């Protein structure tokens, strides 16, 4: 999960191409992140995260910048997703990006001095940057999660899709905001304002101190929200009984809670209460009309499915030169995995009947979110010793209405 807050708006969007075609950009979907393949400066293939929650395109690999001999115009201070740490980035103008058949000249990007996102670990893929709104907000953007394609449409040629619900959005600094309604446990419904963030691999994040009525549920567990500028983002995870997005009703939504008090002016955050991430957006074909201020949602086959919720207490990351070594990054106290003896630093060799050669981050977390009571057999390596462990999946969260 990430968003970039700049001291000043330094990057402007170019007008869309004059031709009237629809540009289709295929993507990979790894651990609820959208990965775009592009060609950088007409010769270097790179992979970027597609992020509607980022104002600016960011190159996270300073090694790539050095290899390409990019010329820095000036230094920019960035406040990241932890809302505290400031890091240095460098403005580069006149960069050429090619996304499938779409060529984009004279793009402005920021080069981060140090890669603190570590998207590689959470996706199992080599990630080089973040594709922000300054590149695509001049189009109408359609994200088709089922077909794994993004369509960029000229605003003048856009025809609203049929059989969708249309919702008003606010576009502020190139980022879309939506007002939704939640039903917390034992409290009346309330309206909240959320950033639509395709760079967030979670379902929803709320800032409880952004509204006095926005309480943290009674039953929560510590949660690793992800990596952002400033390192690990920590908070707690709970369940909200209902989320209403227009005509859609989503039940038992896992929500991360992160406090922001005394960190940053809420005006700078556009008075938002949190973010809406890909675990919710992936249930629809999502169309963002930045120009007219509308969001179109067409439910897909995932719309009615329950949310995947971890029942192990494990945080696993991809590591190693080829990102095919799976490392236990953290273990929740009192969780089934901890009681079975699994420890941070353990290298996963096998889960049930699948060796690490057949696993990736996606199917590891799929296994961890299966029905309660399912037996998990794991083989790990610790300090050169191979250890067999087993436990049963147990719900770490419960819902109170």
pLDDT at 228 over 70: no
Task: Sketch out the chain's domains with CATH numbers.
Answer: 5-156 (2.40.70.10), 164-283+292-299 (2.40.70.10), 314-392 (2.30.42.10)
Q: What share of the chain is helix, strand, coil (3-state, %, to 5)?
A: 10, 45, 45
pTM of the model: 0.91
Dig out the tokens for 122 from the structure: 């959470």
CB 240 within 8 A of CB 249: no
Q: What is the pLDDT of residue 6?
A: 42
Q: How many CB atoms lie within 10 A of CB 236?
A: 18
Which residues on neighbouring strands pair with residue 176, listed in sequence order? 171
Please tell me the least confidently modeled range out of 69-83, 267-281, 298-312: 69-83
pLDDT of 401 reads 46
Give the pLDDT confidence score for residue 399 in this predicted structure.
52
| Listed residue (51, 52, 49, 73) closest to 61, CA to CA | 49
The three-class DSSP label of residue 289 is strand
Locus of tokens 């938002």: 272
Q: How far is CA 383 from CA 16, 347, 352, 377, 386, in A?
A: 55, 9, 22, 20, 8
**If you write DSSP's letter for every residue of 6-48 in order, what string do you get?**
ESS----PPPPPSS-PPEEEEEEEETTEEEEEEEETTTEEEEE
- Cα separation of 316 and 307, whole Å? 19
Is residue 369 pLDDT above 70, yes or no? Answer: yes
Q: Average the pLDDT over 259-284 and give the result.
A: 80
């Amino acid at each position: 999960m990430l968003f970039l807050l700049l001291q000043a708006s330094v990057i402007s969007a170019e007008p869309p191409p004059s031709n009237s075609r629809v540009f289709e950009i295929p993507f990979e979907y790894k651990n609820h992140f959208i990965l775009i393949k592009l060609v950088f400066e007409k010769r270097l293939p790179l992979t970027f995260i597609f992020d509607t929650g980022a104002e600016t395109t960011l190159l996270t690999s300073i090694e790539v910048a050095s290899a390409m001999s990019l010329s820095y115009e000036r230094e920019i201070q960035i406040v990241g997703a932890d809302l505290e740490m400031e890091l240095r980035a460098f403005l580069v103008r006149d960069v050429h990006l090619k996304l499938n058949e779409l060529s984009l000249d004279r793009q402005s990007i920021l080069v981060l001095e140090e890669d603190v996102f570590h998207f590689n670990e959470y996706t199992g893929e080599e990630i080089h940057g973040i594709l922000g709104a300054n590149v695509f907000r001049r189009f109408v953007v359609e994200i088709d999660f089922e077909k794994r394609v993004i369509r960029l449409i000229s605003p003048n040629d856009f025809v609203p899709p049929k059989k969708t619900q249309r919702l008003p959005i606010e576009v502020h600094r190139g980022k879309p905001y939506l007002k939704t309604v939640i039903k917390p446990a034992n409290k009346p419904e309330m309206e909240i304002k959320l950033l639509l963030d395709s760079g967030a691999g979670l379902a929803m994040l709320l800032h409880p101190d952004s509204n006095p009525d926005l309480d943290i549920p009674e039953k929560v567990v510590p949660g690793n929200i992800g990596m952002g500028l400033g390192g690990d983002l920590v908070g707690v995870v709970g369940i909200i009984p209902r989320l209403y997005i227009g005509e859609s009703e989503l039940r038992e939504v896992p929500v991360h809670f992160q406090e922001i008090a005394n960190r940053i002016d809420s005006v700078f955050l556009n008075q938002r209460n949190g973010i809406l991430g890909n675990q919710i957006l992936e249930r629809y074909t999502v169309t963002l009309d930045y120009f007219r201020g509308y969001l179109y949602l067409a439910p897909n086959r995932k719309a009615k499915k329950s949310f995947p919720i971890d029942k192990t207490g494990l945080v696993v990351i991809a590591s190693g030169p080829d990102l095919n070594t799976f490392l236990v990054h953290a273990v929740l106290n009192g969780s089934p995995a901890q009681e079975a003896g699994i420890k941070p630093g353990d290298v996963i060799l096998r889960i049930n009947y699948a060796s690490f050669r057949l696993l990736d981050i996606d199917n590891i977390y799929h296994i961890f979110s299966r029905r309660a009571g399912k037996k998990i057999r794991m083989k790990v390596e610790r300090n050169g010793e191979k250890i067999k462990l087993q436990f049963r999946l147990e719900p770490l969260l419960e819902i109170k209405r």
